[in-house]
């Protein structure tokens, strides 16, 4: 299934923006033809599996929006002025990953609405949520880690060797 979409080479490069969503919007505006589904993926998550990608595509097609995440294992607390104010119910918490998948029309509508209100989200799902469009959760994998530190890089190298 993925062979159909696998790029053989880079077709074109789009200039990024000052924020992640500006870069994604520039990418959305660069299409010659509107695609059915768009995936947004962090390059710093190189260990994503084919299974996750296919699941995100399928769920995006069915629901309009789908995001990969893993259940939070740690206790999460809200801090205020140096003291913990409350403990959140981790059974309802997810650590969001990429890829995030959307029907093109849904994501473009979310980007245009955010541009009008100058809202900057932390990810594309946060833009879509503001339109009250439900975002489907796709169970991710801890191996789909985000490489941001030297320790993350060492862990990724160990995972690749195993």
The tens digit of pLDDT for each residue in 13-29 reads 888 889 999 999 999 99
pTM of the full structure: 0.86
Helices then strands (H, E): number in the chain?
5, 6
Cβ 99 vs Cβ 39: under 8 Å? yes
Residue 1: the pLDDT is 43
Does CATH place domain 2-161 in 3.90.180.10?
no
Phi-psi bin for 132: left (phi > 0), alpha (psi -120 to 50), beta? left
- Tens of pLDDT, residue by residue over 90-129, are 999 999 999 999 999 999 999 999 999 999 999 999 999 9
- Check residues 10 and 60 and name the one with the higher pLDDT: 60
Q: Is 129 exposed, middle or buried (0-12, 13-18, 19+ CB in 10 A)?
A: middle
Tell me the two tokens of residue 137.
Answer: 């959760």
Compute the 3-state secondary structure of the chain and give helix, strand, coil in percent, each to the nearest 5: 40, 20, 40
């Amino acid at each position: 299934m993925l062979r159909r979409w696998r790029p053989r080479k880079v077709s074109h490069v789009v200039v990024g923006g000052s924020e992640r969503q500006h870069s994604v919007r520039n990418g959305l505006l660069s299409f010659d033809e509107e695609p059915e589904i768009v995936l947004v993926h962090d390059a710093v998550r190189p260990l994503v599996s084919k299974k996750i990608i296919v699941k995100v595509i399928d769920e995006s097609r069915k629901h309009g929006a789908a995001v990969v995440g893993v259940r939070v294992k740690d206790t999460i607390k809200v801090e205020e002025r140096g003291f913990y104010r409350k403990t959140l119910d981790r059974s309802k918490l997810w650590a969001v990953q990429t890829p995030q998948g959307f029907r093109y029309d849904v994501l473009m509508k979310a980007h245009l609405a955010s541009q009008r209100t100058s809202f900057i989200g932390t990810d594309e799902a946060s833009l879509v949520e503001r339109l009250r469009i439900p975002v489907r959760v796709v169970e991710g994998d801890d191996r789909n880690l985000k490489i941001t530190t030297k320790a993350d890089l060492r862990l990724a190298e160990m995972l690749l060797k195993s």
